[in-house]
Amino acid sequence: MIDSVPDVVVVGGGVIGLSIAYFLSQRGATVTVLDQNQPGQEASWAGAGMLPPGNLPGARSASAQLRAYSHQRWRSLSQELRELTGIDNGYLESGGLEVGYAGEGDRLQAEANEWIAEGVPLEQLTAADLQRCEPALSPEIRQGYRLPGFAQVRNPRHLKALILACEMRHVRIVAGAPVMQFDTEANSTTGSRILAARTANEHFPASQFVIASGAWTGGLTRQLQVEIPVRPVRGQIVLLSAVPLPFKHIINNASRYLVPRADGRILIGATEEETGFEKRNTVEGVAALLQFAQRLVPELAQARLERTWSGLRPGSPSGNPFLSRLPRHSNGYVAAGHFRAGLQLSVATGELMAQLITTGSTDLNLEEFRIKS
Ligand SMILES: Cc1cc2nc3c(=O)[nH]c(=O)nc-3n(C[C@H](O)[C@H](O)[C@H](O)COP(=O)(O)OP(=O)(O)OC[C@H]3O[C@@H](n4cnc5c(N)ncnc54)[C@H](O)[C@@H]3O)c2cc1C
């Protein structure tokens, strides 16, 4: 089995590539995943694991549909992976608060209106309500709303579960396999086809190929004469420990957030920086995150600082991913550019790409995410 030519080679073993491999294997496809380093160690490991809610019948845009499609599958996928592998990915419906200081009322109301229009359950909260709900919040917080369906996952654990589940389904995962180019053939009737993915020393033939290489995707698709504008956008995170936890909800304020984990850890995220492929923490980034956290929940000044890290989000011009067949190679696909939402959208991406590759049609219309040639 291992030496025979697989149905599909997936380039990239982040949450996107692994989810696609998992759902493909569920459909009976044989799959090889190639990763340039160890799988599951890049953006998918670094992320905060926030999973916002959705409502498929009320979703008013393609991206809202994708989010809702994922949302309704997270709980059952987590249970399925736990039963299959024994690994608990920490999926938890902790609920989420979006809160604002003076002057942020209009922004909050506009956002709340969007959720309400989508039919997502939401409670609008005054300053007094918020103090009752989470007494540790700063009295400077003036208003907010609560999304009870907001969930979280311990993404490093989810990746471990996905890797083991893939292996149990006979997916071959090859670490230390940086794909550098593709062997292709031109055919006058079927158009060009990819024959194999190549590393420095090996080539990996397959019937179909998926490029799911996160922030590195653009460099690879260029080999196939396709410009896909995915770029690295650095996000720094600070990890605190505070036992007992001062609050239970995920707390969002604009683009920054606090995510409480059940074991007393709190993630403070995240910066958004255009610094190329430079993955590191900076004094400025860490200081801004600590200041944000202390202002929002003053007692965090006494929390223990555990560690910091950063990751490279695969940024795209619209913030939406590319989920598409390649324009010039009939057996090539791309799933990349999920920016700040790759964990939440990984379930939908895995399931829908597996549908596209094995049947040519999908539960949701993916036109919005297609690469225009
Ligand atoms: C700080 C931070 C916080 C975040 N918080 C959240 C959140 O709360 N919720 C959410 O939904 N999303 C969040 N995200 C975004 C999310 O993490 C990403 O969108 C998602 O992980 C992208 O997954 P990926 O598989 O495309 O990329 P990656 O996880 O980066 O995986 C790409 C893989 O491809 C491999 N690769 C690259 N080039 C090659 C090659 N040539 N050959 C072989 N392998 C290759 C890499 O080694 C890597 O393993 C966050 C991201 C960051 C950085």
Same domain (yes/no): 289, 238? yes
110 assigned to some structural domain: yes
The C-alpha atoms of residue 19 and residue 2 are separated, in whole angstroms, by 20
The strands making up 123-126's β-sheet, listed across from edge to edge, are 123-126, 143-147, 96-100, 250-253, 256-260, 265-269, 231-241, 304-315
Mean pLDDT, range 248-270, rounded to an integer: 97
301: CATH: 3.30.9.10
Residues 42-90: tens digit of each pLDDT? 999 999 999 999 999 999 999 999 999 999 999 999 999 999 999 999 9
- Provide the residue range defining the domain that includes 345: 8-88+155-229+318-369
The two three-digit tokens of residue 367, written as one number: 């036109």
Percent with pLDDT over 70 in the chain:
99
Structure confidence at residue 3 (pLDDT):
60
Q: Return the structure tokens found at 327.
A: 């324009």
d(CA 105, CA 367): 35
Q: Which amino acid residue places its CA nearest to atom 27 of ligand 1?
A: 214
Whether residue 138 is contained in a domain is answered as yes
The one-letter amino acid at 239: L
Phi, psi of 307 (to 5 degrees): -165, 170
Residue 353 contacts by C-beta under 8 Å, 6 or more apart in sequence?
Answer: 20, 23, 24, 210, 323, 333, 335
State the distance from the centre of ligand 1 to the C-alpha of 234, rounded, in angstroms. 11
Q: Would you tell me the crossing angle of helices 346-359 and 62-85 to the nearest 10 degrees?
A: 90
In this structure, are 41 and 175 located in the same domain?
yes
Q: What is the pLDDT of residues 307-333, one digit of tens each?
A: 999 999 999 999 999 999 999 899 999
Please write the tens of the pLDDT for every residue from 221-231: 999 989 999 99
Tell me whether residue 162 is in a domain: yes
DSSP letter, residue 246: S
Q: Is residue 109 part of a domain?
A: yes
The answer to whether position 38 is within a domain reads yes
Q: How many Cα atoms within 13 Å fall on the side-chain side of residue 365?
A: 6
φ, ψ for residue 81, nearest 5 deg: -70, -35
Task: Tell me how far the alpha carbon of residue 45 lies from the centroid of ligand 1, in angstroms.
Answer: 7
pLDDT, tens digit, 9 for 90 and up, residues 169-200: 999 999 999 999 999 998 777 679 999 999 99
Say how far apart CA 249 and CA 150 lie, in whole Å.
Answer: 9
Query: 158 with 82: CB under 8 angstroms?
Result: no
Residues 6+ apart with CB under 8 A from 80: none
pTM check: above 0.75:
yes
CATH of the domain at 167: 3.50.50.60
CA of 116 to the centre of ligand 1 (A): 30
- Are residues 337 and 205 part of one domain? yes
Domain count, the chain: 2
Give ligand 1 pocket residues (Cβ under 6 A). Answer: 11-17, 34-37, 39, 42-44, 46-50, 177-179, 212-216, 220, 235, 237, 269-270, 311, 313-314, 336, 338-344
- List pLDDT tens digits, range 88-119: 999 999 999 999 999 999 999 999 999 999 99
Report CA torsion sign: 300, 108, 255, 90. positive
